[in-house]
Amino acid sequence: MGSLEQLYDRYKGKAEFFMIYIKEAHPSDGWAMPANEREGISVQDPKTYDARVKIAEKACSVLHIKLPCLVDGMDNGVNKAYAAWPDRVYVVDREGKIAVKAGPGPGGFGQGVEQTHEWLSKL
Amino acid sequence: MRFKAASLLKSTGMIAMKTSLGVLLTLTLLVVGHAALAQQRFGRQPRDLRMPDTLNVGDAAPDFKLKAKDGSSEVRLSTFKGRRPVVLVFGSFT
């Protein structure tokens, strides 16, 4: 049922949306992916929080992400709590409980957007 | 004559054995070499970066306080409790 951006545009009045930048999945100095290099995207795993914030800023602008972007700390605390790496979608309901938990990315990402759409459409 | 034939057979067998050993060695080297190249090209395997997956639907969402990318504000998940649902999209550049 469309992309993440469409979901955001449609439901931003009903729910808060956050993009949370976590540890790089395929940094050039780690598990590099030729597909990224072909797109001209080459990112080294940031070693400081400031460097991480800069990459998050770049990612959110280059990828045209309209969602407000937050940045996980260097302890990867939120990534750990949500088993988020490499990417993942969750919905937290009004009571502060997990309402939707998608499978881990990259396979689970599209399905996560679908599940989120389904859940939000019932609000 | 019989002796000669036996010796011929034996040496043919030896050649065959040497050949199969050679093929085996070459194959082993190829496999090891390929794995080493793959390791060099792709770096560490990604699985060791996945975190233990313990959250379930219905569990209290772990609270967090994170900075926005512009550094100007902080967001605490629990401030939305009782007010609005929150969609969390985790990811990185690559």
More confident residue, B91 or A2: B91
Distance between CA atoms of A18 and A2, rounded to whole angstroms? 18
Give the whole-angstrom CA distance, residue B43 versus residue B49.
Answer: 12
Would the CB atoms of B69 and A57 count as touching at under 8 Å?
Answer: yes
Q: How far apart are CA B42 and CA A33, in angstroms?
A: 7
Strands A88-92 and A98-101: antiparallel
On chain B, the residues whose CB falls within 8 A of the CB of A77 are 64
Residues 6+ apart with CB under 8 A from A102: A88, A89, A90, A108, A109, A111, A112, A113, A115, A116
DSSP for chain A, please give it: ---HHHHHHHHTTTSEEEEEE-S-SS-TTSS--HHHHHTT---PPPSSHHHHHHHHHHHHHHTT--SPEEE--TT-HHHHHHT--S-EEEEE-TTSBEEEEPPPTTTTHHHHHHHHHHHHHT-
pLDDT band at A84 (very low <50, low <70, confident <90, very high): very high
| Subunit contact B89:A18, Cβ cutoff 8 A | yes
Over residues B35-83, the pLDDT tens digits come to 555 544 454 455 457 888 889 999 999 999 999 887 778 999 999 999 9
Say how far apart CA B74 and CA B65 lie, in whole Å: 6
Q: What percent of chain A has pLDDT over 70?
A: 98
CATH class of residue range A4-121: alpha beta
**For A1-123, where are the E strands, in sequence order?**
16-21, 69-71, 88-92, 98-101
Alpha helices (H) in chain B, listed in sequence order = 2-42
| Rounded mean pLDDT, A60-78 | 90
Q: How far is CA B40 from CA A33, A51, A104, B49, in A?
A: 12, 25, 26, 18
Q: Give contacts of A4 with chain B, Cβ < 8 Å.
A: 89
Name the residue in chain A with its Cα closest to that of B51: A83
User: B60 CA to chain A: closest CA distance, Å?
Assistant: 4
Q: Report pLDDT for B34.
A: 54
- Whether omega for the bond prior to residue A106 falls within 30 degrees of 0, making it cis, is yes
The span from the CA of B21 to the CA of A56, in Å, is 54
Taking CB atoms and an 8 Å cutoff, what residues of chain A touch B86?
A: 15-18, 91-92
Interface contact B46-A33, CB threshold 8 A: no
**Residue-level pLDDT at A1:** 41
Closest by Cβ to B86, choosing from A56, A73, A92: A92
B8-22: pLDDT as tens digits? 555 555 556 666 666
Helix, strand or coil for residue A108?
Answer: coil
Q: How far apart are CA A99 and CA A110, in angstroms?
A: 17
